[in-house]
Structures are given as structure tokens and as C-alpha cells.
Amino acid sequence: MKLKDKFKEWLAKQNPPRQPSGIATELWDFIDFLDENYAIRARATRAKPTTTRVWEAYEQAFSRRWRRLPVRNAMINGQLAHLVARVGADDAAALVEYYVSQVNEAFYTRDFHPVGLLLRNCEGMLIRMRGATHLTRRQAQQLEQADATVKASKTYLEEKHGSRDDGTRNQDMAPVLPG
């Protein structure tokens, strides 16, 4: 309830009811001034949610790419809040811009770059955005195969030459060199 309304109530309760006059008129004007300034200050100090910048970046990038506005609802707002919590507000705004404008894999484009898919892999996507090269499926398989080969080689050498728990070679298993 505004101060002016409270003052009106107080005046109405007086016996007999009064109309503002004299000092009351000045008080009436002062109460108007306070109400207006309080409302201005309250609007100015009301901070935007941290997801506002992120949503604006997503909306601009989305409408540029898809020539449509994205859907916004409570679920999207919640996902954006989770994104901000995981990568920070500054990185989140840049990340959604990168995600929509630069990521072209069918997995993302098939559903028009949904926020949920970004949230699912936001840390990896952030690393990509910062300049890491993207691995193709074939490259990832080659890395797995190379790792498996190294592990198999280590196992073979340990079985053939022996190894202790501390990683040093057993001397009794050392090959005999011709002398």
C-alpha cells in the first residue's frame, strides 16, 4: 500500500473526516514525492536475472540462424540457469552464441540447437569454443585403438619379463646375454 493511500485512510478515520489543507497539503505533496522516488529506486535496483544476457544471446543467434524465434518457457529458463551455474554467466552467453552459430553437427541441428543438448555437454562445448579441435568419430576410435594397443603391449611385456608391484623388473626373469 502506498503512503498516499495510508494517509487517505488516516484522514478518513479522523472525527470528523478531513480533507487535506494547510500543512496536510504539503504533507500530501511530500508523500507523492516519496512514492514516486521509491518506485523509481525500486525499479532501478531490481537486478536482471543472470540468465537474461544468456537468453538474449541465444535468442539473437537462434533467430539469425533459423529465421525464427526460439521457444521460451520455464524449462528453458531452468536449463539456462543450470548452464550459468556450470560455466558462469560470461562464458554462458558466449557459449550459446557459439553453439547456435558454429556447431553444425546433425545431432544438434536436427532439433534446431536445443538448450538441453548444450547443457548435456556444456563443458566439452566450452572447450571447443575456446579453440580445441573437434575430434571426428574416426579420430576418437583411432585414439581408443592406440590406447588399447599400448595397454596390451605393457601387459605382454610384464608377462614375458616379469614385473614387481613397484614397477621394477624381476631380476630372475632377465634374459641371459651371451658372454
pTM of the model as a whole: 0.53
Asked whether residue 96 carries a pLDDT value surpassing 90, the answer given is: yes
Which pLDDT value is given to residue 33?
66
Task: Please give the C-alpha separations between residue 88 and each of 24, 115, 117, in angstroms, as whole numbers.
Answer: 53, 16, 18
Half-sphere exposure of 136 (CA within 13 A, CB side): 3
Asked whether residue 36 carries a pLDDT value surpassing 80, the answer given is: no
pLDDT band at 111 (very low <50, low <70, confident <90, very high): very high
Asked whether residue 149 carries a pLDDT value surpassing 70, the answer given is: yes
- The distance of Cα 21 from the centroid of its chain, to the nearest Å, equals 57
Which pLDDT value is given to residue 148?
85
Asked whether residue 172 carries a pLDDT value surpassing 60, the answer given is: no
Which position has the grid cell 553444425?
A: 104
Which pLDDT value is given to residue 22?
65
Q: What is the mean pLDDT of residues 89-111?
A: 93
Q: What is the mean pLDDT of residues 138-143?
A: 81
Which pLDDT value is given to residue 134?
65
Identify whether the C-beta of residue 126 lies closer than 8 Å to the C-beta of residue 96: no
Element (H, E) at 56: helix 51-66
At a CB cut-off of 8 Å and minimum separation 6, what does 69 contact? 59, 62, 63
Q: What is the DSSP string of 91-159?
A: HHHHHHHHHHHH---HHHHTTT--HHHHHHTHHHHHHHHTTPPPPPHHHHHHHHHHHHHHHHHHHHHHH
pLDDT band at 114 (very low <50, low <70, confident <90, very high): very high
Which pLDDT value is given to residue 40?
60
Which pLDDT value is given to residue 155?
87
Q: What is the mean pLDDT of residues 147-159?
A: 86
